[in-house]
């Protein structure tokens, strides 16, 4: 396992906070990835002004280490969602996921954030016949419930530069963006509105103490607030007993490689695409690099329970071989970047949005791979909850962090 893994997206550095001692605040948000910054943004939209944002080892955040996909749906296909939860819940969840993706787009447009955002669709590619059948069933269910989605034949996929593939499902509404540019741009909006942001604050515990919340931190000791938001996703169990005790999220490591820019090869599909039930996922960057991640399901243990962001050479090689097998390329690919990041698998399959065991300690977390859109949208719903505003039924029914009570 090699040491530090540098993501392509961090060629644009992550904006960092002050290293001075932070002061108490009305609300403290822990985590400056897409969830934390989005939570601050939506709370400010509601009129909250006294907010402190803290982070620790910010560059390790999954928010700078993903594949830039902003996808309708969840990590499960519509067929799998329906089998797991029934058609009504699957339909509501899909509709909510669309709203959530559109929140990202609308926020980018509202603040003119230069985030290389493109709503150019998503291709879900089958690599065997059984997956192709699942894709056909998903398309039928989606169309029946009024969602646009269409079948792409093997012949068409071959013309689009793939090989050894079966059919695919095209999702026209999904999108892509540069995650660091989006997060930095949103953070700048929050800072202009008066956010206090401090980096290098390691939170080790979050407790309600006599109608206040106490954060235990290194190196600054205790911080106090009226309410805290745990927006640390996979890292939440390391700083919250509630997460650790109920094992709400399980960390798992995802890994990506990115080529040097290809000089002559033109990729017919530049937008987000995935293979093998989403286990491999890819995109073409603005400067014509192939970025591809996944392959963890082929490793012993599936990279579950890991916080080390080194790169696993077996996964790296697996991804390179995958490209050889499934892409028809007219020039040799030279690989330049290789990195990993830690995601959070939700115990229930739904994100957790709302209060924890304390009415003053909230979270939005647990996106199981689809966090770009869900982080921004879940944070908006969390701001509604904190402000006492109405939220969709499905959130109360399925995304309650106290689901086991
Ligand atoms: C390889 C990979 C590929 C992915 N691809 C996609 C994709 O294409 N599309 C998609 O939608 N999602 C994707 N994801 C998932 C997505 O990136 C995450 O779900 C999302 O970024 C989570 O954002 P977050 O802000 O909740 O958590 P993170 O971005 O992980 O941020 C966690 C924050 O918590 C802070 N923190 C942690 N511990 C402490 C502590 N003790 N004290 C203080 N602060 C702390 C960190 O500093 C950080 O700011 C991918 C993830 C990975 C790893």
With a 6 A CB cut-off, is 371 part of the ligand 1 pocket? yes
With a 6 A CB cut-off, is 123 part of the ligand 1 pocket? no
Q: Residue 3 pLDDT > 80, yes or no?
A: no
Chain Cα centroid distance, residue 395: 18
pLDDT score of 4:
58
With a 6 A CB cut-off, is 293 part of the ligand 1 pocket? yes
Ligand 1 pocket check: which of 10, 31, 318 to mutate, most ligand atoms within 8 Å of Cβ? Answer: 31
Ligand 1 pocket check: which of 187, 371, 373 to mutate, most ligand atoms within 8 Å of Cβ? Answer: 371
Nearest CA to ligand 1 atom 53: 341
In the structure encoding, which two tokens stand for residue 93, read together?
A: 């969840």
DSSP 277-330: GGTEEEEE-TTS-EEEEE-GGGSGGGGBT-----B-HHHHHHHHHHHHHHB--S
Q: Over the stretch 283-303, which tens digit does the pLDDT of each residue have?
A: 999 999 999 999 999 999 999
With a 6 A CB cut-off, is 40 part of the ligand 1 pocket? no
Q: Over the stretch 55-78, which tens digit does the pLDDT of each residue have?
A: 999 999 999 999 999 999 988 899
Q: Residue 2 pLDDT > 80, yes or no?
A: no
pLDDT score of 203:
98
Does domain 117-175+250-345 fall under CATH 3.40.50.2300? My reply is no
With a 6 A CB cut-off, is 231 part of the ligand 1 pocket? yes
Angle at 377 between CA 375 and CA 204, to 5 degrees: 35
Q: Give the atom of ligand 1 at the shortest distance from the alpha carbon of 63.
A: 21
Q: Over the stretch 249-261, which tens digit does the pLDDT of each residue have?
A: 999 999 999 999 9
Contacts of 207 (CB under 8 A, 6+ apart): 213, 214, 216, 241, 358
Ligand 1 pocket check: which of 310, 369, 373, 380 to mutate, most ligand atoms within 8 Å of Cβ? Answer: 369
Chain Cα centroid distance, residue 339: 16
User: Under CATH, which number does the domain 11-66+181-249+348-398 receive?
Assistant: 3.50.50.60
Domain layout of the chain by residue ranges: 11-66+181-249+348-398, 117-175+250-345
43: β partners: none
| 157 Cα–ligand 1 center, Å | 32
| 6 Cα–ligand 1 center, Å | 15
Listed range (31-45, 57-71, 243-257, 391-405) with the worst mean pLDDT:
391-405
Q: Residue 248 pLDDT > 90, yes or no?
A: yes
| 343 Cα–ligand 1 center, Å | 6
In the structure encoding, which two tokens stand for residue 330, read together?
A: 């007219």
Whether the full predicted model's pTM is greater than 0.95, yes or no, is yes
With a 6 A CB cut-off, is 67 part of the ligand 1 pocket? yes
Q: Give the atom of ligand 1 at the shortest distance from the alpha carbon of 232.
A: 34
């Amino acid at each position: 396992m090699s040491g530090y893994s540098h993501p392509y997206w961090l060629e644009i550095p992550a904006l960092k906070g002050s290293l001075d001692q932070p002061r108490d605040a009305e609300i403290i948000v822990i985590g400056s990835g897409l969830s934390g910054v989005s939570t601050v943004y939506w709370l400010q939209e509601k009129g909250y002004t006294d907010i402190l944002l803290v982070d620790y080892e910010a560059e390790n955040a999954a928010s700078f280490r993903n594949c830039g996909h902003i996808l309708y749906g969840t990590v499960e296909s519509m067929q799998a969602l329906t089998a797991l939860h029934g058609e009504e819940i699957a339909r509501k969840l899909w509709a909510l996921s669309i709203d959530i993706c559109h929140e990202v787009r609308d926020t980018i447009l509202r603040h003119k954030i230069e985030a290389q955002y493109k709503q150019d669709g998503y291709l879900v590619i089958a690599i065997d016949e059984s997956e192709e059948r699942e894709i056909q069933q998903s398309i039928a269910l989606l169309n029946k419930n009024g969602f646009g989605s269409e079948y792409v034949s093997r012949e068409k996929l071959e013309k689009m530069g793939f090989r050894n593939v079966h059919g695919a499902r095209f999702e026209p509404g999904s999108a892509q963006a540069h995650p660091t540019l989006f997060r930095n741009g949103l953070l700048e909006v929050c800072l202009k509105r008066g956010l206090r942001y401090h980096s290098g604050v390691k939170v080790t515990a979050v407790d309600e103490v006599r109608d206040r919340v106490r954060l235990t931190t290194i190196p600054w000791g205790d911080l106090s607030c009226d309410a805290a938001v745990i927006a640390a996703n996979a890292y939440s169990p390391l700083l919250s007993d509630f997460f650790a005790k109920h094992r709400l999220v399980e960390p798992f490591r995802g890994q990506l490689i990115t080529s040097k820019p290809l000089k002559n090869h033109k990729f017919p599909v530049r937008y987000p695409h995935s293979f093998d039930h989403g286990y491999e996922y890819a995109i073409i960057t603005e400067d014509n690099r192939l970025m591809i991640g996944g392959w963890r399901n082929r490793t012993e243990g599936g990279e579950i329970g890991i916080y080390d962001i080194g790169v696993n050479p077996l996964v790296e090689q697996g991804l390179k071989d995958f490209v050889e097998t499934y892409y028809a390329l007219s020039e040799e690919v030279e690989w330049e970047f290789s990195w990993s990041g830690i995601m959070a698998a939700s115990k229930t399959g739904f994100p957790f949005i709302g209060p924890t065991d304390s009415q003053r300690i909230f979270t939005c977390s647990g996106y199981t791979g689809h966090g770009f859109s869900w982080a921004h949208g879940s944070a908006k719903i969390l701001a509604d909850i904190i402000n006492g505003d109405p939220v969709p039924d499905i959130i109360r029914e399925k995304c309650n962090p106290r689901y086991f009570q």
